[in-house]
Amino acid sequence: MKKFVVKRLLISIVLLFFVSMIIYGIMRCMPASFVETKAMELSQKPGAKSYDEWLAQLNASYGLDDSIVKGYLTWASKAVRGQFGDSWNYNQPVLQKFSSVIWYSFALGLAAFLLEIIIAIPAGVAAAKKQYSLTDYSITVIALIGISLPSFFFATILKWIFAIKLNWLDLYGIVGRMHQQMSPAGQILDMAKHMIMPVATLTIVNIGALMRYTRTNMLEVLNSDYIRTARAKGLPEKKVINHHAFRNILIPIITLLGGTLPSLFGGALLTETLFQIPGIGYTSYQCIVLGDIPFVMFYMLFSAVLILTGNLIADILYAVVDPRVRVN
Amino acid sequence: MANEENTKADTMKLDDTQRVKVLSPSALVLKRFFRNKLAIVGMVIIIAMFLFAFVGGMVIPYGQSQVFYTTEEMKKDYAGATYINDYMMYEDKEAEVPGDLYSKAILAITKKQSVVETRNGGSLALRPLTGDSYLVYGADETKNPRAMKSAEHKAAVESGENYFEYDGTAYMVDSATGKELLYNVTEMAVICKLSFTPYNPDIAFSYEFYKNALLAMSGGGKDFEADGAAYTLGMEGEEAAMVYAADGSDYAYISNMNINSVVGGVNLAPDFKEMVAYAIREGKDSFEYTDAAGETDTYLLSEKTGQYLISRNQETRVIDTYSSPSKEHWLGTDANGMDLLARLMYGGRISLLIGFVVVIIEVIIGVIVGGTAGYFGGWVDNILMRVVDVIYCIPSMPLYLILGSIMDHYRASPTVRIYMLCVVMSIIGWVGIARIVRGQILSLREQEFMVAAEALGISVGRRIFKHLIPNVVPQLIVFATMGLGDVILAEAALSFLGLGIKYPAASWGSIINAVNDSYVMTNYLFVWVPAGFLILLTVLAFNFIGDGLRDAFDPKMKR
């Protein structure tokens, strides 16, 4: 087990090396004038260094004046030591900006994640219990609609109903206009209120996959011999489902959910942008549009790390939860 | 008929092959597929979408970037009217007039003197008429006791006038110095706050006309003569009058207002001015006027600090933006005045085409890489799968956004953007297919039929593509169908953010992009709702079909 984890970690590091190289290569495709305009902009601020100085500094700090390989090595040697430079857009260290916005994303992701679990798993079990019943069909259709729903369209509908027609919620943002004047508890409630629509969007859009996954696994379990045995013993159906069947679908579900845990930090780029929640997704979106290379590099790398971690966790959990895998 | 079948059945033996209807595996799959109601619904939707996008685009008479115009009633300023504040002077061309006549006369009026001296030593005498009109005379002081004692003088003084005629000579009296002085006067000019508008632009008014018209207005008389012609005055209020020629036709319009057109190249007719003056006098805020061409318009009058503005509603040609659904435009028009239905159809073409192109490229790359890795195993598998892992790790949405903004910077044309989008999405997307194919082939490789194929000496390429790949096709088809929906969703999201398909090319995502303007989101539902539902329906239909196909290929999951 330990050997397996160490091996996977080493592979992950190699992968990360190549991923960051590709990302760096793409970022280098960004027209050089981004740096030039940025240097021009920075030099025009009162009390700033001259244009040439800025240009040289920006180029040097990202190795843009070297060849791609050499430039990458320069960047990578700094990144390994945790130096990701200053965000051009926010004028502060990338890591500082990151730590100030990540918790919005985490709160949003966690709320949606919990809601998904609470709704999707019982619904999936209910659908599998009576295959081809009306419940099954409607849950399948709802799950498929959730998968097929463009999040921006659903978000717009939510906004139109709740923000414009009913006027219950605000269109954009994480805080209301009177946020500063509120008590600490009121401030938290205000933020929670602004999270309602983003969480709803994220939940609806993501819920379908988990629902279907639960249903498929439940169906498989219900077809197995030990369920037939349990029923033959004369156990009540409730006990068969809740004790014998449900425990067994936990293996694949925990594996899947464990794998998605890291992505809670990844932020939902589209949803955050739609509602202008100042999380990591929206921040990165703005940086991408404005060509803030240091921040985007960091965000892409961070996302890659999250994906790798997710895979690793899923594999480890698979072995932990299911003893049969460990034997092999 | 029924009999015939019965006899046929009777003749069949129990083990007759025709007795059992044998279906090929693919026919079985098809049969199972068509039993799935959801899959059929999906098929119907997809066929409808294709008809809508490809046939509809041909049928609809509009192009995707055709701009429509409409005429709109717009309030436009037509003329302005102000009360005349400055004195207008009309000189007698025959009289010798001192250079400072006007300034001296104004000075006299403001000082309320009736006699002033001019620069050249002469004197001017003012004879007030009603309102702010004056007759200006050149004056010579004279002594004529007979005239001073005449009945005409007495009558003038009693009626408060300073002008009288005696014995064929014109005199004026002035008692400003305390002593009544007599002046011998000659006509020089009239000063008034009135404007004279001729009915016929060729008419130039003479001094005599001005003088006699003013005298007639002042005396309240109706008729006057000038230059040997007789005119009749029709008073309209205190300060405006209509002058009719002897034959009763309109001749001129006199008014205390300056009314000028604010539109270039338009000369206002006197009867229009008359209507304006009338409307102002009556305090109306609108009036109707029929112009020379016989067109009747309603004019609106508004007043602001003594200035009157006459405006009218005029038809103007404007781009038909956000027009509501109508007979011509079933779904209305968008911000650029383009027909939304046509754009939805052309946008559907692009969305569907991108979906298919991307998925086809993905399948080709995925099958080749996955097949090779799975078949050869060992270090080939290791290397190829690490490549897959690397690409799998690259976050796709930020990558698309970066490429979109790079293309923005290079101002890529809409067509180039579409190609680039296809290429990038397939380069990112093929890894999922490669993994599936590899996994399947790894297990298939060990089966007996592959050993047999190897023993028969079939070439490697044939073994992979003839014997292994066909066994992966079911999973491939299911994955590709579901993948179509994902690609369409991703393209729509990109276009929605403004980094995918760009104007003037349309895609469903870029049509919904309009909601970034909250005003459009609130007021023009017809702009964004249809496009959203089209995306939803299409993706949903692909998922229904994929679901149905999975069930059909894998009957063990059922029952």
Note the pLDDT tens digit of each residue in A182-192.
788 888 888 88
Residue of A nearest to B489 (CA): A150
CA–CA separation, A305 and A262 (whole Å): 9
Return the residue in B384, B389, B393 with the most chain A beta carbons within 10 A, the one to mutate for interface testing. Answer: B393
pLDDT of residue A124: 92
Kindly indicate the confidence band of residue B337, based on its pLDDT and cuts at 50, 70 and 90.
confident
What is the average per-residue pLDDT within A80-91? 80
* Cβ distance of B406 and A30 shorter than 8 Å: yes
* Å between B287 CA and nearest CA of chain A: 42
Q: Is the pLDDT of residue B379 over 80?
A: yes
* Cβ distance of B540 and A148 shorter than 8 Å: yes
CA–CA separation, B155 and B173 (whole Å): 13
What is the average per-residue pLDDT within A239-257? 88
* Cβ distance of B512 and A27 shorter than 8 Å: no
Return the residue in A288, A290, A303, A306 with the most chain B beta carbons within 10 A, the one to mutate for interface testing. Answer: A288
Outline where B122-170 has alpha helix (H).
Answer: 145-148, 151-158
What is the average per-residue pLDDT within A237-246? 88
Copy the structure tokens of residue A261: 């845990």
Contacts of A151 in chain B (CB under 8 A): 493
For residue A154, give the nearest of A105, A200, A97, A103 by alpha carbon: A200
φ and ψ at A25, to 5 degrees? -60, -40
* Cβ distance of A19 and B394 shorter than 8 Å: yes
CB A241 within 8 A of CB A70: no
* Cβ distance of A150 and B525 shorter than 8 Å: no
Contacts of A276 in chain B (CB under 8 A): none
What is the ipTM, given to two decimal places?
Answer: 0.87
Q: Is the pLDDT of residue B2 over 50?
A: no
If you count DSSP H runs as helices and E runs as strands, how many of each does chain A have, helices first? Answer: 15, 2
Q: Is the pLDDT of residue A238 over 80?
A: yes
pLDDT of residue B17: 62
* Å between A17 CA and nearest CA of chain B: 9
Beta bridge partners of B240: B236
CB B366 within 8 A of CB B437: yes
A12-21, pLDDT tens digit by residue? 888 888 888 8
Return the residue in A144, A159, A300, A307 with the most chain B beta carbons within 10 A, the one to mutate for interface testing. Answer: A144
CB B390 within 8 A of CB A18: yes
How do strand B307-319 and strand B296-304 relate by DSSP bridges? antiparallel
pLDDT of residue B16: 64
Is the pTM higher than 0.80? The answer reads no
Copy the structure tokens of residue A111: 């709320």
Contacts of A307 in chain B (CB under 8 A): 392-393, 395
Please identify which residue in the block is written with the tokens 């970022």. Answer: A27
Q: Which residues of B375-408 are buried (b: 16+ CB within 10 A; e: fewer)?
A: beeeeebeebbebbbbbbbbbebbbbbbbbbbbe
CA–CA separation, A296 and A285 (whole Å): 9
Q: Is the pLDDT of residue B1 over 50?
A: no
CA–CA separation, A12 and B389 (whole Å): 9
Q: Where are the domains of chain B?
A: 29-62+334-558, 88-312
Amino acid letter, A41: E
B28-54, pLDDT tens digit by residue? 888 888 888 888 999 999 999 999 988
φ and ψ at B297, to 5 degrees? -130, 155
Q: Report the range of poorest mean pLDDT among A60-69, A150-159, A256-265.
A: A60-69
B266-276, pLDDT tens digit by residue? 777 777 777 77
Torsion of CA B450, B451, B456, B461, to 10 degrees: 40
* Cβ distance of A156 and B522 shorter than 8 Å: no
How do strand B250-255 and strand B257-261 relate by DSSP bridges? unpaired
CA–CA separation, A47 and B106 (whole Å): 64
B68: left (phi over 0), alpha (psi -120 to 50) or beta: beta
* Cβ distance of B489 and A164 shorter than 8 Å: no
Copy the structure tokens of residue A54: 């800025």
Kindly indicate the confidence band of residue A33, based on its pLDDT and cuts at 50, 70 and 90.
low
pLDDT of residue B145: 77
Kindly indicate the confidence band of residue B309, based on its pLDDT and cuts at 50, 70 and 90.
confident
Q: Is the pLDDT of residue A284 over 60?
A: yes
Is B398 touching A (CB cutoff 8 A)? yes
CA–CA separation, B299 and A317 (whole Å): 82
CA–CA separation, B274 and B253 (whole Å): 7
Contacts of A19 in chain B (CB under 8 A): 390, 393-394
Kindly indicate the confidence band of residue A61, based on its pLDDT and cuts at 50, 70 and 90.
low
Residue B47 CA to its chain's centroid (Å): 36
**Cβ–Cβ pairs < 8 A, chains A and B:** 124
Q: Which residues of B281-297 are buried (b: 16+ CB within 10 A; e: fewer)?
A: eeeeeebebeeeeeeee
What is the average per-residue pLDDT within A70-99? 82
For residue B500, give the nearest of A41, A280, A152 by alpha carbon: A152
CB A89 within 8 A of CB A98: no
- CB neighbours of B154 closer than 8 A, spacing ≥ 6? none
Amino acid letter, B282: E
CA–CA separation, B127 and B163 (whole Å): 7
* Å between A117 CA and nearest CA of chain B: 22
Max intra-chain CA distance, chain A: 85
For residue A71, give the nearest of A82, A81, A58 by alpha carbon: A58
Q: What percent of chain B has pLDDT over 70?
A: 93
* Cβ distance of A307 and B395 shorter than 8 Å: yes
Return the residue in B381, B402, B520 with the most chain A beta carbons within 10 A, the one to mutate for interface testing. Answer: B402
pLDDT of residue B6: 52
Q: Is B151 helix (H, G, I), strand (E, B) or coil?
A: helix
Is B33 touching A (CB cutoff 8 A)? no
B133-155, pLDDT tens digit by residue? 888 888 777 777 777 777 777 77
Q: Which one is predicted more confidently, A93 or B1? A: A93
Of A141, A144, A156, the CB nearest to B521: A156
Consecutive H or E run containing B78: strand B69-83
Q: Is the pLDDT of residue B101 over 60?
A: yes
CB A208 within 8 A of CB A146: yes
Q: Would you call B486 exposed, middle or buried from its count of C-beta atoms within 10 A (0-12, 13-18, 19+)?
A: buried
pLDDT of residue A220: 87
Consecutive H or E run containing B444: helix B414-445
Q: Which CATH class name applies to B29-62+334-558? A: mainly alpha
Of B496, B521, B547, the CB nearest to A159: B521
Of B399, B515, B543, the CB nearest to A26: B399
Is B432 touching A (CB cutoff 8 A)? no
* Cβ distance of A299 and B392 shorter than 8 Å: no
pLDDT of residue A68: 76
Q: Which one is predicted more confidently, A144 or B289? A: A144
What rounded mean pLDDT belongs to chain A? 84
Q: Report the range of poorest mean pLDDT among A115-119, A262-266, B499-503.
A: B499-503
Contacts of B492 in chain A (CB under 8 A): 150, 152
Of A30, A150, A156, the CB nearest to B536: A150
